[in-house]
Structure 1
Amino acid sequence: MDKPQAPSFALLDLEGRTHRLEHYAGQLIWLEFWVTWCSACLDALPRKEVLYRTMQHPKVTFLTIDVTGREASPDRIVAFMKQSSFTFPVLRDEGTKVTDAYGVTSVPTTVLIDQQGRIHGRYDETVPLPQIISEIGKLLS
Structure 2
Amino acid sequence: MQAPSFALEEVQSGEVISLTDFKGKPVMITFWASWCPDCMKDLPMKEQFYQHADADTLAFLTINVTGRERSEEAGKDFTIKNNLPFLVLQDSGRETYDKFGCTGVPTTVLLNQDHQIVHLFDDKSSFLDIAKALPDIMTSK
TM-score (norm 1): 0.91
Pick one of 6, 9, 13 that aligns with 1:9.
Answer: 6
* Cα distance, 1:39 vs structure 2: 0.6
Partner of 2:90: 92
Partner of 1:132: 130
Q: Bigger CA drift: 74-83 or 9-18?
A: 74-83
Percent same amino acid at aligned positions? 36
Partner of 1:30: 28
C-alpha RMSD of the superposition: 1.3
Counterparts of 1:36 and 1:80 in 2: how far apart (Å)? 6
The number of aligned residues is 138
- Segments ≥4 residues shifted beyond 3 Å: none
Give the secondary structure class of the aligned counterpart of 2:51: helix
Q: Bigger CA drift: 24-33 or 117-126?
A: 117-126
* Cα distance, 1:105 vs structure 2: 0.7
TM-score (norm 2): 0.91
Counterparts of 2:16 and 2:83 in 1: how far apart (Å)? 22
1:35–1:67 contact (8 Å) kept in structure 2 = yes
Give the secondary structure class of the aligned counterpart of 1:8: coil
Partner of 1:51: 49
In structure 1, stretches of 5+ residues that fail to align are none
* Cα distance, 1:44 vs structure 2: 1.1
